[in-house]
A and B are shown apart, each in its own frame.
Chain A
């Protein structure tokens, strides 16, 4: 192949080179036809095109595409029509031909010649197709249309321009493995676009809410992986048939959005020298009831979002620079001093496409560079070509290594002007509380609950590689090894499938974390019937509920290890073709952790300090089913070690801290070892619905008749179900789970500050005397925002020592129920006028829980004595049905 090097200073030109092709001479007859028409038609068939390298450079560092080959399939020419309208607008309409292409490497080259690749690329595109809808451009593919004229105000207008492409297959390669997107259609249409040249920058104006400039579509029928680098591109069969070549896949994805706003581009990046600054002020929107904004399909069930709106804005802009590290490795640097992303979503459906909605959601993330205790907290993404894992023979090392830093902020809580002991969400100077907080909010039957006042920062290294795992028929001996040794209380650095000096890999996209340090906290929960009301409400508890999903309300940590995501879940709902969904394997270790079990907005609460959390997952999965979104933990074994007992000094280092994590009282250290097989966590729509508090009955009459209080918490809300299956290691070597469970168990030990150690040994769930372990230990949480019963406080104004009953409108001899403003109301008025609270209906239920014993020892190192030999709990269904309101 003849080596050709093309170097461009603008990426746009590089893209256009694909259209560069051989001109064909027209005969006189054709010429005559052309001259008789309004424009010129050019038919191009490039044949085979090879380019050695296309590169774009800044400050001596280049991004490049090497070994580009484009094969113009026979009989598929590109046809370009060029015309100029009477108003002087240039119309260029290019019906693209089908093309097969390969790119040997997409990577970067540093000033000293160090070259690394992100990935290689193969693909096959289809020729022009309007999909039978002449008037609807949004589904056109294989098309490039440029309409360029004057808007009459001295700016260029691009109205009616479009680009659309359909890939029969698109393969991203990494050291022989490929990430494959099947039947990918992408299109962008400019309904309204202006290019405005300002002093020092250029601005793209894409209109307003009423005149939306852009329509963007993305649709992929399946996304899968292959370890065959020679797999023919394009025709893999039907994803829902047995012979589908990609087998198990991640499922199908489609995105359909409009956009408006502006995008300003300025020369020069974050530092001196070359670079580009982007300043987006864009809104992505889809408020069409008939077209979902996002739709993910997994075996016939969906995650679907309608009525979406997302706003991006930044004052300082996003800067893009090409740079080199100290060892002259090139990388691409994306930095942003400030960035706000907010979204709203009116309709989220999990499960059946026409199923009930999970409700409405809102969220906002405020990124802002900061300086805390003399340490800069910056927002950046540095992308280095080349991942963590190379090819088997070591000849290539494709992949992506990213150094990331983030700082997410919220304004500090402010004292409630009406009551100095309460706080409300704070605000930055010149901004409202709604503009000054990072939050995630959910609407439940017209009431909003805000997980509010989020702050978080972190930095570290994350690398992405496509990897292959061991053959399931001959797994390595340490595949199920547990690095934690209960007898010594230590982690063995030489044991485990993914210890530092021996990297075990799995099939899939491997995300590797190296010293990723971070911390975050929520200020609390606020509720209201509107955003204004929720932002004006007092902070209260509720973030503790996230613990059910193993998310701590406040956490600081250092993360190492990896998580590998493979196509195909564990549940094949439709039973046809391969399984869709996500399979997860991983080995993760969190060290130097400080986690809050419960914490207030000032950092006081119950803390777990000096935490080490070692977690191993085999065959975990995420699936969408008729029940909603389900996370199956597969075979998971983990050790949480909170603080430790120093035998030499007799002191506890770290531990459970009551109060402030720096100087609170210490309750001692604990270790929790878990062995779970098939534990699931699922999220579904619908809260508690109708509940009877203090009585029994499913309707108002029967509930009040039994002495209860009836509450209707509406159809909406959120249900979280945890079904934990604690397993017991068998002693029989022939048991199929013998090696899977070996060296693991469920154990809890607590060492007090004086060294006394209590151990709860070997707890496991069981389906009753007849055995089996299917039911598990279930924690069901139904979350709602609803009005609730709050009674007036006792008062003793006359000082006689007996509480005064200032009013007793229901004559029950107790303080009256009150409304939001503290005025007395009757029990029957609570549903309409009671204070708004955060309602949690929690159930813990299991058939049988076995605990092999409770032991006590003077120190963790001394021989334990048995306090209780065995505990059996059967037939448990424990409920807590509570509604929380801030004390007023």
Chain B
């Protein structure tokens, strides 16, 4: 069964993220077969905070600090300082507190940039055989007969990163620049940063399917 579908919805992404993902290297003959089949062919880009975000880059929203910088507050909610973002563009900030009793937050901060591609393909098809990587038989992993509907994501060959970056940090509060209730000033320590620019080559397919 070959289908031509776009999978846009957030719900699907939620569902898909819970499925078992298996990366299979495929040879060029397989590649050529795939290119001849139906499905949807996507060109375009994904980007995060390409031109900044709505919280810290909108001059109309919070008065008292310059655009492209992040305000730091005191316990009364007054702006007492600001931190300038790199190139004047503030990225997305994701803060996670694992333990209720902990004061520490893990932070992926200043996530921004994009990746563009031509030829990401999406199709679903019925998989007849699959490799069982738990069983080694006759010098190879065992091939098993299956009958699974899989979502096959054909990777585009070349993905171009456009100034994609993020920082890993730890902080004492989830909200940037907000002191703790006891008056302790906001504090964040950056552990490392990552920046990606240029082309990477990714071939083959990503198969997504549910398992028990």
Contacts and interface: CB of A to CB of B under 8 A. Distances in A.
Interface of A: 419, 421-422, 524, 538-542, 544-545, 547, 597-602, 604-606, 656, 658-660, 664-667, 693-696, 706-709, 750, 752-754, 767-770, 775, 788-791, 793-796, 801-803, 814-815, 817, 837, 840, 842, 844-848, 866-888
Select the residue from A604, A660, A769, A844 with max chain B CB neighbours within 10 A.
A769
A613 to B, nearest CB: 13
B99 A421 contact: no
B168 interface: no
Given A837-B43, A847-B55, A874-B92, A884 B6 contact: yes
B82 interface: no
Select the residue from A540, A706, A788 with max chain B CB neighbours within 10 A.
A540
Contacts of A524: 4
A658 B148 CA distance: 9
A870 B97 contact: yes
Contact of A667 (B3, B18, B37, B45): B18
Contacts of A752: 18
A814 B119 CA distance: 12
Contacts of A599: 5
A200 to B, nearest CB: 50
Interface in B159-181: 160, 162, 174-178
Contact of A881 (B36, B44, B157): B44
A694 B160 contact: yes
Select the residue from A706, A768, A788, A815 with max chain B CB neighbours within 10 A.
A768
A847 B54 contact: yes
A interface, over-half SS: strand
Given A667-B210, A887-B41, A547 B94 contact: no
B25 to A, nearest CB: 12
Given A600-B124, A665-B209, A887-B4, A874 B175 contact: yes
A882 B44 contact: yes
B149 A602 contact: no
Select the residue from B4, B19, B121 with max chain A CB neighbours within 10 A.
B4
A130 B19 CA distance: 72
A495 B90 CA distance: 47
Interface string B97-119: 11110100100000000101011
Given A605-B5, A794-B31, A884 B124 contact: no
B1 interface: yes
A791 B118 contact: yes
B38 A872 contact: no
Interface of B: 1-12, 14-15, 18-19, 27-29, 31-32, 35-57, 61-62, 73, 77, 90-100, 102, 105, 114, 116, 118-119, 121-124, 148-149, 151, 157-158, 160, 162, 174-178, 209-210, 212
A878 B48 contact: yes
A885 B40 contact: yes
A794 B32 contact: yes
Select the residue from A538, A606, A837, A868 with max chain B CB neighbours within 10 A.
A606
Given A693-B45, A872-B105, 20 more contacts: A421-B38, A539-B4, A598-B7, A656-B15, A658-B209, A658-B210, A665-B210, A695-B162, A709-B116, A768-B62, A770-B62, A791-B119, A794-B35, A796-B28, A803-B31, A814-B158, A869-B100, A875-B56, A883-B43, A886-B39
B47 A878 contact: yes
B6 A598 contact: yes
A793 B92 contact: no
Nearest to A709: B116
Given A597-B15, A604-B3, A848-B175, A694 B114 contact: yes
Nearest to B70: A875
Contact of A873 (B28, B32, B94, B151): B94
Nearest to A768: B55
A575 B90 CA distance: 39
B172 to A, nearest CB: 13
Nearest to A835: B41
A877 B31 CA distance: 35
A884 B42 contact: yes
Among all A-B residue pairs, the 5 with the closest Cβ atoms: A793-B35, A694-B116, A875-B53, A541-B6, A600-B3
Contacts of A539: 4
Contacts of B119: 790-791
Nearest to A419: B38
B8 A873 contact: no
Given A693-B116, A874-B93, A883 B12 contact: no
Contacts of A845: 53-54
Select the residue from A524, A602, A878 with max chain B CB neighbours within 10 A.
A878
A882 B4 contact: no
Contact of A884 (B10, B41, B90, B97): B41
A602 B3 contact: yes
Given A875-B56, A885-B41, A886-B38, A667 B28 contact: no
B81 to A, nearest CB: 14
Given A602-B3, A667-B15, A791-B118, A874 B210 contact: no
28 contacts: A541-B122, A544-B12, A598-B8, A598-B12, A600-B3, A604-B3, A605-B3, A665-B210, A667-B210, A693-B44, A694-B45, A696-B162, A708-B162, A754-B212, A767-B61, A793-B32, A794-B32, A795-B35, A803-B28, A869-B97, A869-B99, A872-B175, A874-B176, A875-B57, A877-B51, A877-B53, A882-B42, A884-B6
Contacts of A791: 118-119, 157
A540 B176 contact: no
Contacts of B38: 419, 421-422, 538, 886-887
A877 B15 contact: no
Given A769-B177, A847-B54, A878-B48, A887 B40 contact: yes
A837 B94 CA distance: 34
A878 B3 CA distance: 28
B162 to A, nearest CB: 6
A769 B79 CA distance: 11
Contact of B6 (A542, A793, A794): A542
